Amino acid sequence: MPIQEPYQLPDSAQDLPVAGEQNAIFFLNFIASISPETQQSWCPDVRAALPYTDAAFSSETDPQVGYVHVGQKPEWKDLTNIYRKKWNVHSVPTLIRYQRIDGEVKETGRLVEADLLDQKKLTELVS
């Protein structure tokens, strides 16, 4: 399965495992961490979107995706959270597509929160 969870982020997008060929793709799915009390994500939007993102990356032929756990609610709400500052993620869930273009890894698409529940938008991003 092409889902890597939990995914350990590299120092920068340039270090993501995007193959060397032009237009190679890798996805990051930023999600709320699992609550120790409920054994589920603390974020209801993440709980709603996970079945959609899991299905979108369930086949061996689907692109690779790393599921990044952003922490518990207090950690996530901290405005200095590394995912907010370094990766420009301000809502969870956030699914980002990275591609190698002209030798550099660049963000080429993003879906946030309820957009992940839109099957058409999700399919377009992942295809």
CATH number at residue 81: 3.40.30.10
- Residue 21 has a pLDDT of 66
Q: What is the pLDDT of residue 47?
A: 97
28 in a domain, yes or no? yes
Residue 127 lies in a domain: no
Residue 40 lies in a domain: yes
Structural domain total, the chain? 1
Domain extent, residue 66, equals 3-12+23-122
CB within 8 Å of 38: residues ≥ 6 apart: none
Over residues 44-92, the pLDDT tens digits come to 999 999 999 999 999 888 889 999 999 999 999 999 999 999 999 999 9
- Residue 8, in any domain of the structure: yes
**What is this structure's pTM?**
0.92
* Residue 85 falls inside a structural domain: yes
The rounded distance, in Å, linking the Cα atoms of 67 and 27 is 9
Average pLDDT over residues 22-44: 92
Angle formed by the axes of helices 119-126 and 44-56, to 10°? 50
Does residue 65 lie in a domain region? yes
Q: Would you say residue 39 lies in a domain?
A: yes
Task: Let me know if residue 18 belongs to a domain.
Answer: no
- pLDDT one-digit tens code per residue, 90-118: 999 999 999 988 888 999 999 999 999 99
